[in-house]
Chain A
Amino acid sequence: MREPDPVQADIVYRPRGRVPGTSVGAHRGRDAGGLGTFRDQVPFLRMPDARRIDVRATLRDPFEGTHVRRFESRTAIEVWALVDLSASMRYRGEADRMALAAALCGGLAASATRIGDGFGLMGCDATLREDVSMSATRRRGIGASVQARLLAARCTGARADGMREAGRRLVGRPKIVFVVSDFRWPEALVAEVFASLARHDLVPVVLADASEDEGLPVWGLMELDDLEGAGRRTVFMRPSLRRRWLAHERARADTLRRIAMTYGRPPFRLEGRFEADALTRHLIGT
Chain B
Amino acid sequence: MGDATMTATVTAIWGRFAVDAPLVLWLLPLALLPFRASAQRVVPVAAIDAGPADPLSRAIGWALRIAGCLAIAGLILGIAGPYRRGETVTRTGIGAQVSILVDRSGSMNETFAGRQPSGAEESKAAASRRLLGDFVGSRAHDQFAVTAFSTAPMLVVPMTDRHEAVRAAIRAIDRPGLDYTNVARGLAMSLSQFGPQAANVSRALLIVSDGAAVIDPRVQGTLRAEFARIRPNLYWLFLRTKGSPSIADKPAGEDTPQAAPERHLDLFFKSLGTPYRAFEAEGPEAVAAAIRQIEALERDPIPYTERRPRLDLSWMAFGLGLLGLLVLVAGKLAEADVRRGQRALTPRAKAAVPERIAA
Q: Contact residues of A with B, CB < 8 Å?
A: 1-3, 88-97, 182, 184, 210-212, 215-217, 219-228, 230-237, 241, 244-245, 247-249
With a cutoff of 8 Å between Cβ atoms, the chain B residues found around residue A95 in the complex are 341, 345
Binary flags per residue of B41-60, CB closer than 8 Å to A gives 1, else 0: 11111111111101011101
CA distance A241 to B64 in the complex (A): 19
A249 touches B50 (CB 8 A): yes
Of the residues B38, B54, B331, B352, contact of A1 by C-beta under 8 Å: B352
Question: Is B29 interfacial (CB 8 A cutoff)?
Answer: no
With a cutoff of 8 Å between Cβ atoms, the chain B residues found around residue A241 in the complex are 51-52, 54, 56-57
Question: Is B338 interfacial (CB 8 A cutoff)?
Answer: yes
CA distance A126 to B15 in the complex (A): 56
Which of A1, A92, A221: most chain B Cβ within 10 A?
A221
Q: Can you report 25 A-B residue pairs in the complex whose CB atoms are below 8 A from each other?
A: A1-B348, A90-B44, A91-B45, A94-B339, A95-B345, A97-B46, A182-B47, A215-B341, A219-B334, A221-B335, A222-B335, A222-B336, A225-B44, A226-B44, A233-B48, A233-B58, A233-B61, A234-B64, A235-B54, A241-B51, A241-B56, A244-B52, A244-B54, A248-B51, A248-B52
B336 (CB) vs chain A CBs: closest residue: A220
Contacting residues of chain B (319-359) with chain A, CB-CB under 8 angstroms: 331, 334-342, 344-345, 348-349, 352, 355
Main secondary structure on A side of the interface with B: mixed
A72 → chain B, closest Cβ, in Å? Answer: 44
Task: Give how many A-B residue pairs fall within 8 Å (CB-CB).
Answer: 135
With a cutoff of 8 Å between Cβ atoms, the chain B residues found around residue A221 in the complex are 40, 60, 64, 331, 334-336
A96 (CB) vs chain B CBs: closest residue: B345
Q: Contact residues of B with A, CB < 8 Å?
A: 38, 40-52, 54, 56-58, 60-61, 64, 331, 334-342, 344-345, 348-349, 352, 355
CA distance A96 to B43 in the complex (A): 14
Rank and list the top 9 A-B pairs by shortest CB-CB distance, nearest first: A220-B336, A234-B61, A94-B341, A88-B46, A223-B40, A226-B48, A217-B336, A184-B47, A1-B352
CA distance A223 to B60 in the complex (A): 11
CA distance A235 to B54 in the complex (A): 8
With a cutoff of 8 Å between Cβ atoms, the chain A residues found around residue B47 in the complex are 88, 182, 184, 226, 228, 230
